[in-house]
Every structure is written in structure tokens, then in C-alpha cells.
Structure 1
Amino acid sequence: MPDYTIRTAAQLPALLKGFRKQAGLTQADAALRLGVTQQTLSALERNADRVSAERLLQLLSMLGVELVLRQEKATAPAKPSSGPNW
């Protein structure tokens, strides 16, 4: 799968479902690997914005998905400064 830029929590459910399906897993399969019920995994996929970071990272790891945090590139070059402005 290509890289995806996530800007809102509303984007997560479709991506999580897509990654799971790409891995060839049903919800039941993925739930078993995570040690949760199928209903819990279904709720996790639907309500990804309410899932703990730890649970989300567990799911991503199980799906073989890497989470990369990258600072956005500035659109204009930063002005040089003479140091901190305290």
C-alpha cells in the first residue's frame, strides 16, 4: 500500500479496514490475534477516534503497518532569528 497522510480521525476507519483486508484477515481473525472479540474489533474500526494510542499501535503492528510522524514542510522559508525571543 502507498503512504497515506492522515489529517483527521474520521479517515482512520476506512484505512484500518483496508489494511486489515489487504492483510487477508477477517475481523474475527484480526480480533483473535489481538486477543479481543470480533465485536470489539468492529467497534475499534468504526470508532478509531476513541481508541487508545496503545490499542491503535497494537492493531497497526499486527497488520504490519508502520506509523511515521513527520513534521510538515514549511511553505515559506523560516526567517533567520537572532535566538529565542523570551
Structure 2
Amino acid sequence: MDYRISLATQLSSHLKSLRSQQGLSQAALGKLLGVGQVRIANIENNPGAVSLDQMLSILHLLGCGLSIYKRDEVKTATGKPDNDNKPDW
């Protein structure tokens, strides 16, 4: 399943859900990543404060990856461009 995320804050719930789907506690994921449970909790609560390298490692351990797409080329089921997920930058 694809999750379209425009802001780091949107990633928080997805990380927690993906970890749970893998049957991993924060401590177990931390052990796989080489960090402590507190670090995983911090990453899940503030995913914008983690390095891209560490985020990619976490996504890999959770069986996921990162895709980059051009927003104006993404279409909804109606065939119209999806302009609802634009960040406020």
C-alpha cells in the first residue's frame, strides 16, 4: 500500500502502524537499528528530526521504501490532479 505524505508530521502515525504490523516493539526495532527504545519513540513522535539515512534504514527494516513523485503528475481516481496534499511551504 502507498501512503502519500507531504509533511513529516504525517509520517508519525504511519511509522507506528508499520512497526506494529511487523510485530515489533519500539525496543525490538531499536535493537535492529542499533539504537535504544527511547530513540525510536522520539523518531515516531518527531520524524522530521531524524536524518534521511536513519529514516531510510527504518523504512527498510519495516519492509518499506521511499518514493519521490512530482505532485502535479499524480492523479486521483477521477483522473484529476491531486492538489489536496500540498504542503504549506
> TM bucket by the smaller chain?
0.7 to 0.9
Q: Following TM superposition, by how much is the alpha carbon of 1:23 offset from its aligned partner in structure 2, in angstroms?
A: 0.8
CA–CA distance in structure 1, aligned partners of residues 36 and 8 of structure 2? 23
Aligned counterpart, 2:13: 14
Q: Give unpaired runs (5+ residues) of structure 2.
A: 75-80, 82-89
Q: Secondary structure at the match of 2:56?
A: helix
Question: What is the CA–CA distance in structure 2 between the aligned matches of 1:66 and 1:7, rounded to whole Å?
Answer: 15
**How far apart, CA to CA, are the structure 2 residues paired with 1:45 and 1:34?**
14
List structure 1 segments (4+ residues) > 4 angstroms apart after TM superposition: none
- Report the number of matched residues: 74
Identity score, percent: 36
**Equivalent position amino acid for 2:20 in 1:** K
* Shift, 1:45, TM fit: 0.8
Following TM superposition, by how much is the alpha carbon of 1:71 offset from its aligned partner in structure 2, in angstroms?
1.4
Q: Secondary structure at the match of 1:10?
A: helix
What is the TM-score when the length of structure 1 is the normalising length? 0.80
Residue 38 of structure 1 aligns with which residue?
37
Once the two structures are TM-superposed, the CA of residue 20 in structure 1 deviates from its matched residue by: 0.4
TM-score (norm 2): 0.78
Tell me, what secondary structure is at the counterpart of 2:3? coil
RMSD: 1.2
Q: What do the CA deviations read for 1:30-53 (whole angstroms, capped 9, x no partner)? A: 010000000111111111011110
